[in-house]
Amino acid sequence: MRTKHLIPHHAEGLTYAARDYAAREDYGGGDPGGGGGGGIDPLEGFPDAVLGLIVSKLPFRSAVAASAISRQWRGAAAAAPALDIDFAAAFPAGPRRRAAFAAATTAALVPRSAPPGPCPRPHPLRSLRLALEGLFDQAFAASAADHLASWLAAAAARGVERLELRLPRSRLAVLPPSLLACTSLTSLTLRLDHYALPLPSLTPFTRLSRLHIASVSLTGDDDFFGDLFSHCTELRHLILEQCRIGALRLDGPSRLCSLAITDCTWTQESSLAVFEMPELRTLRYSGAMATRHIIDRDISLNEVLLAVEKPQPSEGKRRRCSDGECHGVLRSKGVMVKHLKGIRMQYIDESKSGFELVKLLLRNAPALEMMNIVPSMDGLEQAKFRRRVLKLRKSSQNASIQFCTAG
């Protein structure tokens, strides 16, 4: 049997496999059991669990194409412990392809109807990635929304533990209530393109240990994160990526140990406040910065990565006192960094904000071993900035300060 039928290497793989199978049927090569080879299903006898494990290692498009040569394979996806379902990668755009994708996804997530008798438990689903960019066109958007709700309900019934959901920008591409039925989640990634609606409360996810939110608006008007920390007591890692933030207040008690704020945009009067995070050890803060920062009360960081948004050539001087007040990159009332061993700061400028940040860390980090600085200036200005930094008092005798390039 040619492997092209199992794993197509071109856009017509599914059509090719189906046409080849139909030809064998026409010439008497098949039987009601499906497959070729003298009327024998080539995958007959393989347990669903074994076939499901194979499916979890294949691209979704290849798994669907292989179902054309074996009826035994057609239920294999419903037994897969992990599924990566990506519309853009699986099918080209087009209404008929969208319907075919929806049917294939439903078959993969919803268990086959069982014969009369005791209802077997569905196969557990450990990991699911649903990337639906391009599925919500005007003609198919309403149907896609209904399918999304049913897919998440099916994933919840199979006890999904790790979920990544990518939705396009569409009026109907909203988070359905069935998402909250996935109470077995330990990891959740929501990548929502310009999602303007408020996020639903994630309090049902009491086992959640990792949360990644991307491309949503966080106004700070509600107590979303307060409820999250109160109910999701196992949460250890929080990632905010490319979000639009007005005010962000993270207030414990919480077991959060890692916080990443990456490439977010901030409103003009934005603020970031972090309080009562006794187990927080890693802070990664890159891209644009909020206007005001407060990090206080029982916080002891071991690792800090600050990558300030790269300024324009003359922006460093404008940063100093453009409105009569210098907005620090990191303004803290009582941040404890006594266990901090390494820090990397990118695009730190010669303005008061950048220099004061370096001074703060050197004076209050007795365990510091390495500080890497990527300045935002070149030539003479960088040399002046370097001399000023090297003259600062260090609380750690072993601290090494290195100036690096952006690469």
Q: Where exactly are the structural domains of the chain?
A: 186-301, 341-407
DSSP string, 166-213: EE-S-TT----GGGGG-TT-SEEEEEEEEE-SPPPP-TT-TT--EEEE
Give the span between the Cα atoms of 48 and 46, in whole angstroms: 6
- For residue 108, give Cα distances in angstroms to 82, 112, 175, 374: 11, 9, 21, 48
Return phi, psi of residue 2, to 5°: -75, 135
Average pLDDT for residues 382-390, to the nearest whole number? 85
3-state class (DSSP) for residue 306: strand
First-to-last alpha carbon distance for the chain, in angstroms, is 49
pLDDT at 307 > cutoff 50: yes
Nearest residue to 233 via CA among 262, 200, 208, 266: 208
CB atoms closer than 10 angstroms to residue 141:
17
Q: Please report which helix (H) or strand (E) contains residue 133, including its range.
A: none
Better pLDDT: 260 or 377: 260
- Structure confidence at residue 247 (pLDDT): 87
In terms of Cα–Cα distance, which of 57, 32, 116 is closest to 66? 57
Q: What is the DSSP letter of 340?
A: -
- Beta-carbon count within 10 A of 402 CB: 10
Backbone angles phi, psi at 313, to 5 degrees: -50, -40
Q: In sequence order, what are the residues at sequence separation of 6 or more whose Cβ sits closer than 8 angstroms to the Cβ of residue 227?
A: 201, 202, 203
CA distance readout (Å), 302 to 95, 193, 384:
52, 33, 29
Non-local CB neighbours of 347 within 8 Å, separated by 6+ positions? 307, 308, 309, 310, 311, 374, 375, 376, 406
Q: What is the pLDDT of residue 353?
A: 58
Q: Is the full-model pTM beyond 0.75?
A: no
| pLDDT (0 to 100) of residue 43 | 65
Closest by CA to 225, choosing from 235, 7, 144, is 235
Question: Which class for 120: exposed (0-12), middle (13-18), buried (19 or more C-beta within 10 A)?
Answer: exposed
**Quick one: pLDDT band at residue 358, thresholds 50, 70, 90?**
confident
pLDDT of residue 167: 95
Does residue 313 register a pLDDT over 90?
Answer: no
In this predicted structure, what is the pLDDT of residue 39?
Answer: 58
Read off the pLDDT of residues 71-113 as tens digits, 9 standing for 90 and up. 666 667 777 888 898 998 877 656 678 888 898 899 888 866 5
Over the chain, what is the mean pLDDT?
76
Distances 28 to 24, 37, 74, 125, 330 between C-alpha atoms, Å: 6, 11, 21, 38, 75
Q: What are phi and psi of 262, to 5 degrees?
A: -125, 125
**What pLDDT, on a 0 to 100 scale, did the predictor assign at position 338?**
64
pLDDT at 80: 83
pLDDT value of position 372: 84
Structure tokens at 34: 């499906």
- pLDDT of residue 369 exceeding 90, the answer is no
Q: For residue 393, what pLDDT is reported?
A: 82
Residue-level pLDDT at 177: 96
Whole-number pLDDT of residue 258: 94
State how far Cα 220 lies from the chain centre.
Answer: 21
Residue 155's pLDDT band (cuts 50, 70, 90):
very high
Higher pLDDT, 32 or 130: 130
Residue with tokens 């601290």, as numbered in its chain:
399
Provide the pLDDT for residue 352: 52
- Comparing 87 with 304, the larger pLDDT belongs to 87
Please check the confidence at residue 332 and state whether its pLDDT lies above 70: no
Segment 149-176 shows an average pLDDT of 95
β-bridge partners, 264: 287
Residues of the chain with pLDDT > 90, as a percent, come to 25
Q: Give the model's pLDDT for residue 404.
A: 80
Residue 41 contacts residue 70 (beta carbons within 8 Å): yes
- 310 within 8 A of 376, measured Cβ to Cβ: yes
- Name the most confidently modeled range: 55-64, 74-83, 238-247: 238-247
Each residue of 8-52: pLDDT tens digit?
Answer: 333 333 343 344 444 444 434 444 444 444 457 666 666 777 777
Q: What is the pLDDT of residue 319?
A: 37
CA pair distance 39, 59, nearest whole angstrom: 28
| pLDDT, mean of residues 115-133 | 77
For residue 301, pLDDT beyond 80: no
Helix H, strand E, coil C: the string for 365-403 is CCCCCEEEEEECCCHHHHHHHHHHHHCCCCCCCCCEEEE
pLDDT, tens digit (0-9, with 9 covering 90-100), for 170-205: 999 999 999 999 999 999 999 998 888 889 999 999
SS (H, E, C) 247-265: EEEEECCCCCCEEEEEEEE
Residue 364 pLDDT more than 50? yes
Predicted confidence at residue 346, as pLDDT, reads 74
Phi, psi values for residue 267, rounded to 5°: -70, 175
Look at residue 339 and tell me whether its pLDDT is greater than 50. yes
More confident residue, 334 or 61: 61
